[in-house]
């Protein structure tokens, strides 16, 4: 009991909100906190019990808030600190907790710390960052930033450069500096004092840089090398993360989900052991990561993959941590393409495919995270010009692709597949101008398909994807199966059957089986189990004797008796 109280986040379904695109309450074309407050009833009805807000701190928005200029202030475009407190209170009345995005690998170049550092690069605030003198007339080393180009930017009028793992508006903070660390701990505790229930920790495995910031052999025609060799999961990161945990979310039993790409399954337990992990959970990224080759994830550098690869990655991750660990499992987020477009073949991009995908992840061992619009099956966009895109990484990736020799059309195909704007178009609330997102001019174009895909239409239709999600969330959180689906062990089933992803959760002698047919063709398997229907996207089970038939993109969830 005591443990369950501490690990309350095991009985959670989290809904990620990209506030700029969720709901605009005041007609300026930008989503805001009062917009989220107005939509709390919708979220309660859907059934989620935690909201993760992408950053709402004061920011020049070079990377939509992942460039924080003041960690203590809400950006005026989102509202005020009072609005945020009201949101926490109103959500609480509905049994919903608020988790904030915590971006502490870097801050904005407009943050006061950085402004002071510029004035005195060797001084107190200079030491909050990685500021170094250039070498041989160029930057201090040859690292390439995640978004392309050198990871170093000159400090104008000086021989100095500063390190930025992401855009040049996001200066890396120096976690070797105790004073900086204390500032961050103070700030995170301050937010928890205001009722925040936890944090999504942005780019958190980048905090430790390799001692001496060495150059490495170039791995690209630009003469640079991916900065991940010197900044991702480097030796010493665990000590830093341990202190971060012990000084902030750990003692307060807050939810801490790490964005920790590149953690190998065999190392995962150190991060997410339920006994003494560094976080409550980390996102399980493996099946997304198979799409792109190379350490830089350049969008033109794609890999061929099939559903079998997705299945293998999912099962490997779970096998590696067994019942000792806990993942954050998800299909979509604000950095990835919409799942229907990414994971499904053309013929499955419909209600059946989308509902099947939901079943693939919703009952895995871990906490499920939904991303706004996923529950109504929102889709990506194809805009003709790169100028139509806002996402900074889309611009960088377009340039990289062109430099690599791809034509405009070819480069745009990469953007259509991977642009982060696919997930960032405004939420489609109803069949009304701008999808009902704003009465003004939206900051990013609304997907034209809002006339067909929108929340109002789906709420009225009992057979919609929205109601399917609602059903799965209820099964997970508040049904007689809830404990099985939370604490039950996770065992792959029928692993060798092509295009079938099936698994069993079992707990105290009861078993739930999930079958997902990832293809247009029917899939037949033999099973001696008596299957008691819990949910099926076709509405019934087709089983004759021992033969279970799964129709095109069918998802079946049943208790095995």
| Binding footprint of ligand GLC on the chain (CB under 6 A) | 63, 66, 103, 166, 202-203, 259, 334-335
The SS3 call for residue 524 is strand
Q: Pick between residue 103 and residue 263 the one whose CB is nearest to ligand GLC.
A: 103
Residue nearest to ligand GLC (CB): 66
Residue 5 CB, nearest approach to ligand GLC (Å)? 30
* For ligand GLC, the closer CB: 37 or 68: 68
Least gap, CB of 163 to ligand GLC (angstroms) = 14
Q: How far is the CB of 407 from ligand GLC (least distance, A)?
A: 27
Say whether 101 sits in a helix, a strand or coil: strand
Q: How far apart are CA 128 and CA 228, in angstroms?
A: 21
Tokens of 109: 């170049």
Q: Which residues contact 136 (CB under 8 A, 6 or more apart)?
A: none
Given 24, 259, 391, 421, the catalytic residue: 259
Q: What is the smallest separation between the CB atom of 390 and ligand GLC, expressed in angstroms?
A: 12
Closer Cβ to ligand GLC, 77 or 454, answer by number: 77
In the numeric block, the tokens 């980390």 are attached to 282
Give the residues across from 556 on adjacent strands: 515, 536
Active-site residue among 83, 202, 287, 375?
Answer: 202
**Closer CB to ligand GLC, residue 167 or residue 464?**
167
Task: Using the minimum distance from each CB to ligand GLC, give the nearer residue, 202 or 536.
Answer: 202
C-alpha to C-alpha distances, 559 to 175, 362, 509, 542, 548, nearest whole angstrom: 49, 16, 11, 15, 14
Picking from 352, 257, 182, the residue whose alpha carbon sits closest to that of residue 10 is: 257
Report the alpha-carbon distance of residue 273 to residue 282 in Å, rounded: 10
Tell me whether residue 171 or residue 500 sits nearer to ligand GLC (CB atom). 171
Instruction: Give the closest residue to 67 by CA, choosing from 173, 162, 161.
Output: 173
Distance CA 70, CA 115 (A): 12
Nearest CB to ligand GLC, comparing residues 32 and 391: 391
Judged by CB, which is closer to ligand GLC: 288, or 490?
A: 288
Residue 104 beta carbon to ligand GLC: minimum distance, rounded to whole angstroms: 10
Helix (H) or strand (E) holding 340: helix 339-343
Residue 327 belongs to what H/E stretch?
Answer: strand 327-330
How far apart CA 327 and CA 375 sit, in angstroms, is 21
Give CA angle at 100 (94, 104), nearest 5°: 170
**Known catalytic residue at 259:** yes
Lay out the sheet containing 531-536: strands in order across: 489-493, 500-507, 510-517, 555-560, 531-536
Q: What share of the chain is helix, strand, coil (3-state, %, to 5)?
A: 35, 20, 45
- Within its chain, how far is the Cα of 555 from the centroid? 24
CB nearer to ligand GLC: give 259 or 554: 259
Closest to 60 measured CA to CA, from 164, 162, 167, 144: 167
Q: How far is the CB of 164 from ligand GLC (least distance, A)?
A: 10
Task: Report in angstroms how near the CB of residue 106 gets to ligand GLC at its nearest.
Answer: 7
- The total number of residues written for the chain in this structure: 561
Nearest to 333 by CA among 415, 262, 422: 422
- Known catalytic residue: 202? yes
We find the least distance from the C-beta atom of residue 55 to ligand GLC, in angstroms, to be: 8
Of residues 61 and 314, the one with the C-beta less far from ligand GLC = 61
> In angstroms, what is the minimal distance from the CB of 87 to ligand GLC?
21
HEC string for 16-77: EECHHHCCCCCCCCCCCHHHHHHCHHHHHHHCCCEEEECCCEECCCCCCCCCCCEEEEECCC
Instruction: Give the contacts of 276 (CB within 8 A, at least 6 positions apart).
Output: none
CB of 207 to ligand GLC, least distance (A): 12
As given in the structure block, the two tokens for residue 252 are: 């307060």
Residue 467 φ then ψ, to 5°: -70, -30
Of 409, 384, 383, 415, whose CA–CA distance to 397 is shortest? Answer: 415
CA distance 278 to 269: 9
Active site residues per annotation: 202, 259
């Amino acid at each position: 009991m005591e443990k369950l109280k501490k690990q309350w986040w095991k009985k959670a379904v989290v809904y990620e909100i990209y506030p700029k695109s969720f709901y605009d309450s005041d007609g300026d074309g930008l989503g805001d906190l009062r917009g989220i407050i107005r939509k709390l009833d919708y979220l309660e009805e859907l059934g989620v019990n935690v909201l993760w807000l992408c950053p709402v701190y004061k920011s020049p928005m070079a990377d939509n808030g992942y460039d924080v200029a003041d960690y203590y202030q809400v950006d005026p475009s989102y509202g005020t600190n009072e609005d945020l407190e009201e949101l926490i209170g109103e959500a609480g009345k509905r049994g919903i907790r608020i988790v904030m995005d915590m971006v502490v690998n870097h801050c904005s170049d407009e943050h006061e710390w950085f402004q002071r550092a510029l004035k005195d690069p060797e001084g107190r605030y200079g030491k909050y960052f990685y500021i170094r003198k250039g070498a041989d007339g160029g930057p201090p080393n040859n690292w390439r930033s995640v978004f392309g180009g050198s990871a170093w930017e000159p400090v104008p009028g000086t021989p100095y450069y500063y390190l930025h793992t992401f855009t040049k508006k996001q200066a890396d903070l120096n976690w070797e500096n105790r004073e900086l660390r204390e500032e961050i701990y103070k700030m995170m505790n301050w937010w928890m004092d205001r009722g925040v229930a936890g944090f999504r920790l942005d780019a958190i495995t980048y905090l430790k840089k390799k001692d001496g910031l060495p150059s490495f052999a170039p791995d690209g025609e630009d003469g640079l090398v991916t900065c991940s060799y010197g900044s991702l999961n480097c030796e010493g990161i665990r000590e830093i993360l341990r202190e971060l945990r012990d000084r902030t979310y750990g003692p307060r039993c807050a939810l801490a989900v790490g964005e920790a790409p590149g953690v190998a399954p065999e190392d995962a337990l150190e991060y997410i052991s339920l006994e003494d992990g560094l976080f409550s959970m980390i996102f399980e990224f493996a099946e997304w990561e198979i799409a792109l080759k190379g350490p830089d994830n350049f969008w033109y550098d794609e890999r061929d993959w099939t559903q079998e690869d997705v299945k293998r990655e999912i099962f490997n991750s779970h096998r590696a941590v067994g019942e000792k660990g806990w993942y954050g499992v998800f299909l979509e987020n604000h950095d990835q393409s919409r799942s229907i477009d990414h994971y499904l073949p053309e013929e499955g991009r419909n209600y059946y495919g989308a509902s099947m995908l939901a079943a693939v992840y919703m009952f895995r061992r871990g906490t499920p995270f939904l991303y706004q619009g996923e529950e109504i099956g929102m889709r990506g966009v194809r805009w003709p010009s790169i100028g139509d895109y806002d996402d900074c990484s889309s611009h960088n990736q377009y340039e990289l692709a062109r430099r690599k020799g791809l034509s405009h059309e070819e480069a745009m195909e990469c953007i259509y597949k991977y642009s982060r704007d696919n997930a960032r178009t405004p939420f489609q609330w109803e069949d009304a101008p701008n999808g009902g997102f704003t009465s003004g001019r939206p900051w990013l174009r609304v997907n034209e398909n809002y006339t067909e895909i929108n929340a109002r239409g789906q709420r009225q239709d009992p057979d919609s994807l929205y109601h399917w999600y609602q059903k799965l969330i209820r099964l997970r959180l508040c049904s007689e199966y809830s404990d099985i689906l939370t604490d039950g062990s996770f065992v792959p089933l029928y692993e060798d059957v092509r295009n079938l992803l099936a698994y069993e959760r079992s707990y105290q002698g009861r078993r739930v089986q999930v079958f997902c047919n990832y293809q247009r063709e029917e899939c037949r398997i033999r099973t001696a189990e008596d299957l008691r229907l819990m949910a099926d996207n076709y509405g019934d089970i087709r089983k004759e004797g021992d033969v279970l038939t799964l129709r095109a993109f069918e998802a079946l969830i049943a208790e095995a008796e």
